[in-house]
Amino acid sequence: MAPPEGQTLTLARANVLALLVLLGAAFAWLFERRRVRHEASLRSERERFRLALDAAHDGVFDWDRAGGDPYYSEQFLRLLKRDDLRARDHREWLAEPDRARVGASLERLAAEGGALEVECRLETADGPRWFELRALRVSGSGETARLVGAVRDVEERKRAAALKDQLISTVSHELRTPLTGIHGALRLLGGGAAGPLSERGQELVALGERNGRRLMRIVDELLDLQRLQAGELDLELEEVSVADVLAQARTIAEELGVEARLSISEPAPEEIVLCDLQRAGQVWINLIGNAVKFAREGELEAAARAVDGGIRFELADRGPGVPPEMRDSVFEPFTQVDGTTTRAHGGSGLGLAIVASIVRASGGEVGVDERAGGGAVFWFLLRRTRAAINDRTAGPGGAPRATPPGG
């Protein structure tokens, strides 16, 4: 006997409801399982991220200037030895000597975007300490900008660099005085102050004078590099024609006895660049002196040509060239491509570093390329306008000061 129609309908509804409850429970279980797995994955990712940050010794910050608490990683707080840091801007942890300079750079970053990399002092629990700060804007603008970045402790590196500079300065000054006395004594001896010298005696005096001058040049290069890197050497920038800059190359080549091995191309002699002409001469001295060590006779060529951003001056040789992996480091102090050549011809390994320091202080650039057919092309670029120089030389201290005309 079939159940009444109403009872059948009620039973069907109960079965459907039970099925829905069962499905709901299954979905809830699956959702909870996925949530737990997702949270575990997030925790794992955060832990890996934290371990990576700790291994890199970088402290990370994340500022959302529109609102919300700022984020400082545990390593950031450890580096500054501060647990109470909650600042949304730079004023709480930038040390006073750098607060205005770096603060302005961060405000400019928030307003204009881009990236910032600067060395500055941060206020730690133990007092100001040197850090490398890197930051970029990821969203918003101005007061609504979100900035993220990292800091790295460079205090020991700064101390080591300062100690090195002090040592170089002290040793160089201590060497200069006795070298001057030795040079003077040799000149008197060669001039007959102690009586006539034999031919062999004259040769020995000449050898002593030659090596004394070589050592004095090394001392002068050490002092120049130290002053350039410390920002203690003013460059008097003036408007100079390309022809005048190239004329210096010709004069210096003649003084070095290589006038027959130098050809000068002047595609834009009437063009004007801003530079310290005396220091430009020092650039040519070091470039030509470096090329003479490697180039075969008759195969040096100086040239100038207009490029985007300024005038590029070049010195090409037919020597062995510079390996690609050394084209950046060759302008670092005491870096030499071939030590055997340097030992044979002399040199301190500072000439190209001085070139780079002078040119960069003038707002320019330096580099070296491969020459077609073999050899190297060393080049430096000088700017045409004061604005271009200001753009290149703006930034933190520690760079030589460039004074444009009328500045």
159-230 CATH fold: Helix Hairpins (1.10.287)
Residue 169 confidence (pLDDT): 75
pLDDT of residue 173: 76
pLDDT recorded at residue 15: 72
Reported confidence tier of residue 396, pLDDT bands at 50, 70, 90: very low
Tokens at residue 345, please? 């011809």
Could you give the C-alpha distances from 153 to 100, 157, 165, 201, 245, in angstroms and in order?
A: 20, 9, 20, 58, 43
Choice among 78-87, 208-217, 240-249, 345-354 with the minimum mean pLDDT: 345-354
Residue 70 has pLDDT above 70, yes or no: yes
Query: Residue 395: what pLDDT?
Result: 45
The two beta strands, 272-275 and 127-139, are unpaired
Mean pLDDT, residues 166-194 taken together: 82
Lowest mean pLDDT among 64-68, 238-242, 350-354: 64-68
In whole angstroms, give the CA distance from residue 99 to residue 6: 83
Reference 92, options 55, 112, 63; nearest CA is: 63
pLDDT in tens, 194-235: 888 888 988 888 888 888 888 887 888 777 777 777 776 778
pLDDT digits (tens, 9 = 90+) for 84-134: 766 656 677 889 889 889 988 988 998 888 889 999 999 888 999 999 999
**Contact at 8 Å (CB) between 106 and 119?**
no
More confident residue, 328 or 181: 181
- Does 346 score more than 70 pLDDT? no
- Every domain of the chain and the residues it spans: 54-153, 159-230, 235-403
Residue 397 scores a pLDDT above 50: no
Reduce the secondary structure of the chain to three states and give it as a string: CCCCHHHHHHHHHHHHHHHHHHHHHHHHHHHHHHHHHHHHHHHHHHHHHHHHHHHHCEEEEEEECCCCCCEECHHHHHHHCCCCCCCCCCCCCECHHHHHHHHHHHHHHHHHCCEEEEEEEEEECCEEEEEEEEEEEEECCHHHCEEEEEEEECHHHHHHHHHHHHHHHHHHHHHHHHHHHHHHHHHHHHCCCCCCCCHHHHHHHHHHHHHHHHHHHHHHHHHHHHHHHHCCCCEECEEEEHHHHHHHHHHHHHHCCCHHHEEEECCCCCCEEEECHHHHHHHHHHHHHHHHHHCCCCCEEEEEEEECCEEEEEEECCCCCCCHHHCCHHHCCCCCCCHHHHHHHCCCCCHHHHHHHHHHHCCCEEEEEECCCCCEEEEEEECCCHHHHHHHHCCCCCCCCEECCCC
DSSP letters along 284-300, please? HHHHHHHHHHHPPTT-E
> pLDDT by residue (tens digit) across 266-310?
556 678 899 999 999 999 988 988 888 766 555 678 888 888 888
Q: Report phi then psi at 235, rounded to 5.
A: -110, 125
Task: Please report which confidence band the pLDDT of residue 263 belongs to, taking 50, 70 and 90 as the band edges.
Answer: low
Proportion of the chain above pLDDT 70, given as a percent:
77
pLDDT of 359 reads 92
Q: Which CATH number fits domain 235-403: 3.30.43.10, 3.30.70.260, 3.30.360.10, 3.30.565.10?
A: 3.30.565.10
pLDDT mean over 1-20 = 67
CATH superfamily of 54-153: PAS domain (3.30.450.20)
- Higher pLDDT among residues 225 and 9, named by residue: 225
Res 28: pLDDT:
78
Contact, 123 vs 80, CB < 8 A? yes
Question: Can you give the pLDDT at residue 220?
Answer: 80
- Could you tell me which residues come within 8 angstroms of residue 31 by beta carbon, excluding any fewer than 6 positions away? none
Q: How far apart are CA 303 and CA 242, in angstroms?
A: 10
- Give me the pLDDT at residue 135, please: 92
Tokens 């009437």 correspond to what residue? 270
Model pTM score: 0.56
> What are the tokens at 103?
């603060």
Q: pLDDT: is 4 or 225 the higher one?
A: 225
Query: Higher confidence at residue 66 or residue 303?
Result: 303
